[in-house]
Amino acid sequence: MKAPQDILKVWNKFNSFPMETLTKAWFYEQGTKQKQRSVSLMKEHYEQYLITGNCFDLTIWLLDEFKEAGIESYPIGTNLHTEDAHVAAIALDEKGNRYLCDLGDQWIQPILVDKCSSCFSEEKLAGYFPAAEVAVQAEENQATINYYRPNGKISKQTYDLTKVSNEEFFLAAETSQRKVGKKPLLECRIFDKGEVTHWEFYNWESWLSTSKGKFYDKEVQNIDKWVTRIHQKTSYDKAFILEALKLYAQRK
């Protein structure tokens, strides 16, 4: 179910990249006509502040890296043009097998979603998603992921594997970047005690998900303390974090 090395080589460039909406709020206030950043601008911001972006930003950047590496890939998405929009990428190996690449949901690595492949399995697998085992149910144009949490909870998510045209994808991206919302979100993968864990900051709460369960952090009311905590988890520029959080505080 693992992707070949050429796909993993590109994917691994993003191992330390969080998914977040802090950049969305910050860039929205910059006054530019276009709200979806180009890859070159994302790289510039990363060098300046170590910031990444939301699922659209990460998917656009990942697709660009696949293109540079000569790997066929394309965007997929659900609920486009709504506040619930989510996008990811499909990368193809030399045999045409499709691998789901979802940086937005902070997957540890891509996973095979072609049922006809001899390597395909519907068994529960570890090492693909932080703090959960996953099992894939695949059809021609969709894949359903079942997530098995350490507390016994089972959830599922269905991906439409149909290619989204570039025109439609970038229109949806622009729409998404204009829907800032009121609740800040940041998710990142953290290697801790021999496993990849998942740390999340959402609506002024934060917690760590591990193979042993979900652990909430101590409550924080002061923005400066949030800046310190987020910086410790992400290495984001502190001045950037402060500015972005103040924008969200004004939206409460």
The pLDDT tens digits for 158-184 are 999 999 999 999 999 999 999 999 999
Q: What are phi and psi of 192, to 5 degrees?
A: -145, 125
Number of H helices, E strands in the chain: 7, 13
Residue 24 has pLDDT above 90, yes or no: yes
pLDDT band at 151 (very low <50, low <70, confident <90, very high): confident
The average pLDDT across 28-36 equals: 96
**What is the rounded CA–CA span in Å between residue 136 and residue 145?**
5
**Is 90 exceeded by the pLDDT of residue 221?**
no
Tell me the Cα Rg of the chain. Answer: 18
CA 159 – CA 143 distance, rounded (Å): 5
**Going edge to edge, which strands form the sheet with 111-112?**
73-78, 86-92, 98-101, 111-112
In single-letter form, the type of residue at position 72 comes to E
User: Which pLDDT belongs to residue 33?
Assistant: 96
Q: Which amino acid is at 49?
A: Y
C-alpha 180/C-alpha 190 separation (Å) is 26
CATH number at residue 211: 3.30.2140.20
User: At residue 140, does pLDDT exceed 90?
Assistant: no
User: How many folded domains does the chain comprise?
Assistant: 1
Q: What does the pLDDT look like over 43-96, one tens digit per residue?
A: 999 999 999 999 999 999 999 999 999 999 999 999 999 989 999 999 999 999
Domain of 32, in residue numbers: 5-251
Q: Dihedral sign, CA of 98, 188, 124, 145?
A: negative
First to last CA, the chain: 43
Q: Residue 192 — pLDDT band, cuts 50, 70, 90?
A: confident
